[in-house]
Amino acid sequence: MIENFSRIVLANSYLLFSGLLTTLQVCAAGFLFGIVFGLAACLIRLYVPILRYVAIAYVEFCRSTPMVVQLLWVNYVWPDMFGFPRTVVGAGIIALGLQSSGYLAETFRSGIEGMVSGQREAAMALGMSPSQTMRRITMPQVTLDMAPSLINQLAVIIKSSTLISVIAVPDLMFQALRLVDRSLEPIEILSTTALLYIAVIFAISFSAKKVADRFRSKYGLAIPH
């Protein structure tokens, strides 16, 4: 097994790390997409009554559609309907972002609705406008409170990204499966691939917890144990 590991995995490590870099880039872009559109859907649902049901329909669609269906839909249907995306990487980013935005919209909504109303009332009593209250009071606290849920969603995106190989995005899983097809030695390759995904998710979770705890301490908020 050690000989196979050196011959197959180490000799082709550049392919795995190239795929890992693609995975990280696609997941980061998809996560940002999900945050922007999820927050927009949440705010529209809460504060724009005329478009409330449009936002609800968007959220339910994103949450209810299987990831593979969204990938194939975005990659094969959107170019004919909208003229984009023009690459499989773009399709992977959009599909990951769409599904994530549905879950993040509900995360943001629960965080905003769960905030103590007295703080908003106090801010407005001091002369802050609703937009200032949202920007300076509500969102910083909501973001810190939701940090575990946000990081959990990023981990979900990373795990879901293994499916983007279906549309030939050259991510970590795609490169791993190529090596398996060429070498017919799945144990060493797929075990290494699994360890890389575990290492990435652990590193992100650990770093995010440290950052969140630092900000909670800075702003005088309780640090959960």
pTM, full prediction: 0.84
Q: What average pLDDT does the segment 40-56 reach?
A: 93
Residues 14-35 have pLDDT tens digits of 889 999 999 999 999 999 999 9
Q: Are 55 and 41 in contact (CB under 8 A)?
A: yes
Q: Are 183 and 8 in contact (CB under 8 A)?
A: yes
Where residue 6 falls among pLDDT bands split at 50, 70, 90?
confident
How crowded is residue 165: how many other Cβ atoms within 10 Å of its Cβ? 22
How crowded is residue 52: how many other Cβ atoms within 10 Å of its Cβ? 13
Q: For residue 223, give the 3-state DSSP assignment.
A: coil
Domains along the sequence of the chain with CATH: 2-218 (1.10.3720.10)
Sequence letter at residue 71: L
The C-alpha atoms of residue 81 and residue 32 are separated, in whole angstroms, by 24
Residue 146: which residues within 8 A CB-CB, separation 6 or more?
107, 108, 111
Q: What is the pLDDT of residue 118?
A: 61
Residue 56: which residues within 8 A CB-CB, separation 6 or more?
45
Residues 172-188 have pLDDT tens digits of 999 999 998 888 888 88
Phi, psi of 116 (to 5 degrees): -65, 125
